[in-house]
């Protein structure tokens, strides 16, 4: 089927490119623009107190009280009680309170009296009066938050009192800026592929395929956001994964195509052979990634399902592009894929330089357009009579025979001493994974934002004047019919008594609706602190049950704690399901028990190493300053889940590409040792290039300001680096050598009932069956 599809795409390349892919790209983007997007994050967890608090407000139609918390923080050199300051700020708060979906508690009102911290307050380390208005904003998407923030800040700019300083804190005023990771990823891929192939055309094919696939995938994700709860960072995550796998998949097929051309085949035959072999590996690798991502549905959360849909969509589109669009593009290039003129190479260099300058100067579009223009002009100049020097081809770099390549010698070096390399590689991975045993899940807050943002400045000011817990109040709610005035007073007293512990202060109970009472409790510790989690559990289990009425603890901080606890409980289910499905898929593909078992174990070690590194850096604080983070904190609650799904899937990519080539060589020769060395020799350079591209794409997220994206990007980069080096280049050849032909053993009864899927494509029938019959008639335990 793949051979027929590749032949059709090659012969009808004009139709495939100009009547299928480009019209689909344009149509879907027009449709997504007309429909708009609805990216939003729903952190609701079933059967949790924070969800009950949210539901209580939703049931009375008063979503504001259970909405997003924010603050308007101000300080004045003449004191916040100054009549001019009080009058101006009260008018400001009145205007904000009149905005739709916004409720303001002013520090000048009786209920907000505790929102003032005079300079004389011993707990105030800021040095002058600090006050804040507490805002509760109904939930909305990121674009609506941005519009509301602009409105509020615009009103604030009209307040003109000498000596008065105003900052804005909370999620409402956060501006989510993503680093230009896609641009940096493409630029890195251009450089790496050009060095790997030595050809501009060979470099351009994976890039072009990935860019077109990315455009289609992102349009589908945008449309899907109207039906799924896809969070604001969902498109960036999908683009990151899609771009990485798209370039990787096309890279493997182009590499195989060049091999067949060098064997003397014509372009059409080479294309069909490349897709029929590496294309199969692409399909199975893509399915494995999609399985890992769709395993996120087990988590039972709407926004996680949205992330799974976004990521799986990007991978699926790239997989289809690699076996339909890429063969068509190969039809246009033919044998010219080996040659590169000086003008083309120089043009690529100019384009990359302009792109990097655009990222640094935040002028990506204009400068990349300028670079593309210069590249076109250089190529055009080479066609003129005076452009002979630019037209001159760069000498073609011929491939060495497999046995003369570095990676062949490396494989043989390891195969001659497999035990030391196996034990050494395993120890390194286990050491990297050790910090995982102290992992603490949580969420970043405004205290992790860049120091020059108004959100961070507001956070620091409030923390210095009131204590860090003021930035993350707990919302307590009771809908108990027994909540009489006397019972509410008992809750007030219980919360006041907790001020001797980790409660800074608590507001008295307020009846915000019939039979609905609300309290705000401000911890002494920050939302990220383990003491705050202890306080939430203490209130729920020890304090509130003694008041005689049912009181639930919610709010953003408690929701984060519930969310972390919920994910920690569901993560083993995700891991177990993905491991089992991946094992079964690899067992069917490779007709082996030990190969999929080793793959699952080693990929699990790669994920564990990534977990360990992010715990050591972000939670323990090792080397934080090197990546632009100024304080340690918990690991993002969603990160282990997403890291596992993505990293495990990508690790299986490299596993399938490497082992499918080894299996192909084993079926051809019947010699396991030679198959391992030859398989590594012909795939290692491509796997290394693919991994470098991934590492560059993921590392670009470390350049941004957002702590959670830094953590996510670094975790992915470490995992891919570890997997492509220690696992693929050390542990795989060592274990393959130790197990010998037993690698490919499978009980005959199991072989008969399993469906037959050939990932290697057409190849000579095999000496493998003869070898296996001799070696594995009776299965023996493996040490």
Q: Which of 402-406, 632-636, 763-767 has the highest mean pLDDT?
A: 632-636
pLDDT at 713 over 80: yes
Query: What integer is the mean pLDDT of 757-776?
Result: 47
Closest by CA position to 680, among listed 442, 492, 402: 402
For 144-183, list the strands marked E by DSSP: 164-170
* Alpha carbon distance 359, 368 (integer Å): 9
Closest by CA position to 277, among listed 715, 635, 761: 761
pLDDT at 5 over 90: yes
pLDDT at 64 over 50: no
Cα angle vertex 290, ends 286, 293, to 5°?
Answer: 140
**Three-state secondary structure call for residue 476:** strand
Query: What integer is the mean pLDDT of 196-200?
Result: 86
Residue 21's H or E segment, with its range, is none
pLDDT at 569 over 80: yes
Buried b (16+ CB within 10 A) or exposed e, 429-450: beebbebbeebebbbbbbbbbe
Cα angle vertex 16, ends 11, 17, to 5°?
Answer: 115
* Alpha carbon distance 549, 482 (integer Å): 6
Q: For the chain, what percent of residues have pLDDT higher than 70? A: 93
Q: Are 575 and 644 in contact (CB under 8 A)?
A: yes
pLDDT-derived band at 179 (thresholds 50, 70, 90) equals low
pLDDT value of residue 625: 85
Q: Are 639 and 443 in contact (CB under 8 A)?
A: no
Least-confidence region, from 203-207, 714-718, 771-775: 771-775
pLDDT at 106 over 50: yes
Q: What tens digit of pLDDT does each residue of 340-363 get?
A: 888 989 999 999 999 999 888 888
Q: What tens digit of pLDDT does each residue of 575-590 get?
A: 998 899 889 988 988 8
Query: What integer is the mean pLDDT of 117-124?
Result: 90
* Alpha carbon distance 601, 340 (integer Å): 43
Which phi-psi region, left, alpha or beta, contains residue 387 (left: φ > 0; alpha: ψ -120 to 50)?
Answer: alpha
pLDDT value of residue 612: 96
Helices (H), 397-540: 406-415, 418-433, 454-466, 485-497, 530-538
Supply the DSSP symbol for 540. I
Least-confidence region, from 153-167, 538-552, 761-775: 761-775
Supply the DSSP symbol for 402. G
In a 10 Å sphere around its CB, with 0-12 CB exposed, 13-18 middle and 19+ buried, how is residue 745 labelled?
buried
pLDDT value of residue 581: 87
**Phi, psi for 73 (deg, rounded to 5):** -105, 130
**Could you report how far apart the first and last alpha carbons of the chain are, in Å?**
41
When the pLDDT of each residue in the chain is averaged and rounded to a whole number, the result is 87
pLDDT-derived band at 141 (thresholds 50, 70, 90) equals low
Set out the domains of the chain in order of their start, with CATH numbers.
63-173 (3.30.70.1440), 341-393 (no CATH), 474-554 (3.30.70)
* Alpha carbon distance 101, 321 (integer Å): 45
* Alpha carbon distance 132, 143 (integer Å): 25
pLDDT at 190 over 80: yes
Least-confidence region, from 137-151, 559-573, 599-613, 618-632: 137-151
694 CB-side CA count, 13 A: 30
* Alpha carbon distance 136, 520 (integer Å): 12
More confident of the two residues 130 and 186? 130
In a 10 Å sphere around its CB, with 0-12 CB exposed, 13-18 middle and 19+ buried, how is residue 697 labelled?
buried
* Alpha carbon distance 229, 248 (integer Å): 29
In the 3-class helix/strand/coil scheme, how is 444-470 assigned residue by residue? CCHHHCCCCCHHHHHHHHHHHHHCHHH
More confident of the two residues 777 and 252? 252
**What distances in angstroms separate CA 626 from CA 94, 614, 621, 702, one per listed residue?**
44, 13, 11, 10
Q: Are 643 and 680 in contact (CB under 8 A)?
A: no
State the DSSP string of 314-351.
HHHHHHHHHHHHHHHHHHHHGGGGG--BHHHHHHHHHH
Least-confidence region, from 2-11, 113-122, 203-212, 300-309: 300-309
Query: What integer is the mean pLDDT of 72-81?
Result: 95
pLDDT value of residue 653: 78
**Phi, psi for 472 (deg, rounded to 5):** -140, 70
Q: Are 28 and 216 in contact (CB under 8 A)?
A: yes
Residue 518's H or E segment, with its range, is strand 516-523
What lies within 8 Å, CB to CB, of 107 at 6+ separation is: 80, 113, 115, 116, 131, 132, 133
pLDDT at 647 over 60: yes
Closest by CA position to 371, among listed 387, 358, 354, 357: 354
pLDDT at 763 over 70: no
* Alpha carbon distance 143, 175 (integer Å): 10
In a 10 Å sphere around its CB, with 0-12 CB exposed, 13-18 middle and 19+ buried, how is residue 122 labelled?
exposed
pLDDT value of residue 165: 95
* Alpha carbon distance 229, 749 (integer Å): 45
Q: Which of 139-143, 537-541, 659-663 has the highest mean pLDDT?
A: 537-541
pLDDT-derived band at 450 (thresholds 50, 70, 90) equals confident
* Alpha carbon distance 291, 101 (integer Å): 40
Question: pTM for this one?
Answer: 0.82
In a 10 Å sphere around its CB, with 0-12 CB exposed, 13-18 middle and 19+ buried, how is residue 59 labelled?
exposed
**Phi, psi for 182 (deg, rounded to 5):** -65, -40
* Alpha carbon distance 689, 782 (integer Å): 34
**Phi, psi for 519 (deg, rounded to 5):** -130, 150
Residue 116's DSSP bridge partners are: 131
pLDDT value of residue 24: 97
**Three-state secondary structure call for residue 743:** helix
**Three-state secondary structure call for residue 301:** coil
Helix and strand numbers (H, E) in the chain are 27, 12
Q: How far, in whole angstroms, is CA 566 from its chain's centroid?
A: 20
Supply the DSSP symbol for 139. -
* Alpha carbon distance 71, 651 (integer Å): 44
pLDDT at 732 over 80: yes
């Amino acid at each position: 089927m793949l051979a027929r599809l590749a032949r059709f795409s090659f012969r009808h390349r004009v139709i495939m490119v100009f009547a299928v892919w480009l019209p689909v790209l344009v149509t879907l983007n027009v449709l997504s623009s007309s429909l708009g997007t609805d990216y939003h994050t729903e952190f609701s967890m079933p059967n949790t107190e924070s969800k009950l608090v949210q539901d209580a407000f939703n049931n009375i139609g008063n979503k504001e009280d259970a909405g997003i918390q924010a603050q308007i923080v101000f300080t004045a050199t003449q004191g916040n009680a100054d009549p001019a300051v009080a009058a101006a700020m009260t008018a400001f708060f009145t205007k904000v309170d009149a905005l739709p979906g916004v409720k303001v508690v002013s520090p000048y009102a009786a209920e907000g009296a505790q929102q003032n911290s005079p300079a004389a307050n011993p707990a105030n380390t800021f040095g002058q009066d600090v006050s804040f208005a507490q805002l509760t904003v109904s939930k909305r998407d990121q674009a609506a938050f941005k519009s509301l923030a602009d409105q509020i800040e615009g009103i604030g700019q009209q307040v003109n009192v000498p000596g008065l300083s105003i900052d804005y804190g909370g999620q409402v005023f956060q501006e989510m800026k993503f680093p230009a990771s896609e641009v940096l990823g493409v630029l890195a891929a251009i450089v790496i592929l050009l060095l790997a192939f030595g050809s501009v055309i060979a470099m351009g094919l994976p890039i072009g395929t990935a860019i077109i696939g990315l455009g289609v995938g992102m349009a589908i994700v945008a449309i899907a956001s109207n039906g799924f709860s896809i969070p604001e960072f969902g498109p960036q995550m999908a683009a990151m994964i899609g771009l990485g796998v798209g370039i990787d998949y096309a890279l493997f097929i182009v590499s195989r195509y060049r091999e067949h051309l060098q064997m003397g085949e014509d372009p059409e035959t080479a294309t069909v052979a490349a897709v029929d072999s590496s294309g199969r590996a692409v399909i199975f690798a893509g399915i494995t990634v999609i399985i890992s991502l769709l395993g996120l549905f087990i988590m039972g959360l709407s926004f996680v399902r949205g992330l799974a849909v976004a990521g799986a969509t990007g991978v699926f589109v790239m997989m289809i592009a690699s076996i339909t669009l890429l063969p068509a593009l190969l039809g246009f290039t033919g044998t010219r894929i080996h040659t590169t003129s000086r003008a083309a190479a120089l043009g690529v260099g100019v384009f990359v330089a302009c792109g990097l300058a655009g990222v640094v100067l935040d002028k990506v579009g204009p400068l990349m357009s300028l670079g593309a223009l210069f590249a076109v002009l250089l190529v055009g100049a080479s066609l003129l009579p005076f452009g002979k020097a630019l037209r001159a081809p760069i000498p073609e770099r011929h491939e060495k025979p497999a046995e003369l390549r570095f990676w062949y010698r490396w494989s043989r070096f390891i195969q001659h001493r497999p035990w030391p390399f196996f034990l050494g590689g395993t120890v390194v991975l286990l050491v990297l994974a050790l910090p995982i045993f102290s992992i603490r899940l949580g969420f970043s807050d405004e205290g992790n934002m860049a120091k020059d943002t108004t959100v961070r400045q507001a956070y620091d000011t409030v923390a210095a004047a009131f204590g860090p817990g003021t930035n993350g109040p707990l919302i307590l709610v009771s809908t108990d019919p027994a909540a009489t005035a006397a019972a509410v007073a008992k809750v007030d007293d219980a919360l006041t008594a907790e001020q001797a512990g980790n409660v800074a202060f608590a507001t008295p109970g307020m009846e915000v609706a019939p039979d609905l009472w609300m309290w705000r409790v401000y911890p002494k510790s920050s939302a990220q602190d383990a003491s705050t989690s202890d306080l939430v559990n203490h209130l729920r289990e020890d304090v509130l049950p003694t008041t005689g009425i049912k009181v639930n603890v919610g709010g953003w901080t408690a929701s984060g704690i519930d969310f972390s606890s919920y994910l920690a409980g569901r993560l083993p289910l995700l891991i177990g399901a993905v491991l089992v499905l991946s094992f079964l898929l690899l067992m069917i593909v490779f007709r082996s028990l030990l190969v999929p078992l080793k793959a699952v174990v080693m990929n699990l070690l790669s994920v564990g190493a990534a977990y360990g590194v992010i715990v050591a850096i972000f939670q323990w604080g090792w080397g934080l300053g090197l990546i632009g983070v100024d304080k340690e904190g918990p690991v993002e609650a969603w990160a282990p889940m997403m890291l596992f799904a993505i990293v495990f899937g990508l690790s299986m990519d490299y596993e399938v590409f490497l082992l499918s080539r080894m299996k192909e060589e084993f079926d051809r020769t019947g010699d396991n040792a030679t198959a391992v060395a030859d398989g590594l020799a012909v795939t290692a350079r491509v796997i290394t290039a693919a991994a470098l591209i991934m590492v560059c794409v993921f590392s670009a997220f470390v350049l941004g300001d957002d702590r959670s994206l830094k953590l996510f990007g670094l975790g992915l980069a470490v995992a891919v680096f570890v997997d492509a080096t220690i696992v693929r280049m050390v542990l795989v050849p060592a274990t393959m050598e130790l197990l010998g032909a037993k690698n490919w053993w499978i009980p005959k009864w199991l072989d008969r009932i399993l469906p037959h899927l050939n990932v290697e494509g057409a190849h000579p029938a095999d000496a493998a069956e003869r070898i296996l019959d001799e070696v594995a008639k009776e299965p023996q335990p493996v040490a």
